[in-house]
Structure 1
Amino acid sequence: QSQSQSQSQSQSQRRISPVPPSHPPPSLLQPSSPSTPSQRQSPSPNTTPRPSPPRPTIPPATLMADYNVAVFTGSKLGAGTDALITMELLGKDGISSVRHAFPQSKGLFERGSEDRFLIRLPDPGPLGRIRIWHDGSGFGSDWFVNKIQVQHVAAEVKYEAVFDAWVKAGDEKRATEATLKLVSGDEEGLERMRVEAKAKALAAANAANAVAAAAAMVAAAKEKGRE
């Protein structure tokens, strides 16, 4: 009887004891590769990403040109002005334009005067039109301009714009505009000069970029060697 009781207890224990799983439950499995950014391992705090060497971006130099500008004020009564006058030259391409503000002086732009200036501006190429305006400062600021001549010094190309008009006070939105007509010189020669100057400026920029890139590579190699 005691033997049958022990057998019964043994069978009961076997029914109660769970069978150990042959594989760990899914909740304990480690994913072989993280599927979401939150599961990815963060980099070690001691690891500092090495910055890449700066990429040299030296642009070609802006083409500059010297211009002789002659401004002719009309002989009408009250034609002169003491206002600040601004001129804008527009290229024939319809895109390029440059501006210049003339010196403001009581001795300039007087009635019947001819004022000459030598100015240096970014070269817009062959010219097509000219715009002028002034800020209205000074007594009796309205200005009667007869004509303006513009000469590209290096190319010896000369233009003239005839206004014969009153210029009222205002900003560039109220500018007085006229066509610049070719008086003398060769615009094709001017354009060839600009193409050659652009090629030289581009070659100089490429050379400077190559030197800067080589210096950046040497600096990066030295930094890597110190690690």
Structure 2
Amino acid sequence: MYVHQSGVHHAINPDPYRGVFGSEGEKYAKDIQDLIQFGTSGNIAGFISEAIQGVGGIIELAPGYLPAAYNIIKKAGGLCIADEVQGGFGRTGSHFWGFENHGVVPDIVTMAKGIGNGIPLGAVITTPEIAEVLTRRNYFNTFGGNPVCTAAGLAVLNVIEKEKLQDNAFVVGSYLKERLIALKNKHDLIGDVRGRGLMLGVELVTDHELKTPAKLETLHLLDQMKG
């Protein structure tokens, strides 16, 4: 049977709570090395990751994972791309960008959502050397450089700085996480509390050892929060 290869590979999720290697980040990174060695020609285009997975469940990457992963990618000739759509703009509190929490410097940073505070806006930041590649092609974008959205993005940056929203995310987020952990210590239903700043997640389980998802309880809680 022929299996179509799209050229995109998914590495093992470096999830400290549910992952196969727990909090051992370098073991997860080895999976990337294996994917490159056995699933590619050895030369790759790039590696995309969030510093904290958003829609994936507010998953903090296992310690040491991102530096090890970036090192492997660069040796294979790839670019390291940081998705900061949810984790950027001070949301993690201690740093403006989520990747800074891991001590790495990506080649490309993608951003949206928080950059416009409701206004449809997205942006890409990269090095002059990488950006120069676009000049070799006839690149066109219908909505690129929209002056109204650009002005809104600048206003958002000014408010973040003026109102010290990053500091607020750190202070309020630290307090909220502390109180959530206190609830976890009192209630068996809470399996894990994780995240940084105001990018926090709570996972409910019916069994701490098996980590069985508390589906009904979670749906009930979400329904109650709507009120």
Q: Which TM-score bucket, shorter chain as reference?
A: under 0.3
Normalized per residue, the structure richer in helix is: 2
Kindly name which structure, 1 or 2, has the bigger radius of gyration based on alpha carbons.
1
Normalized per residue, the structure richer in strand is: 1
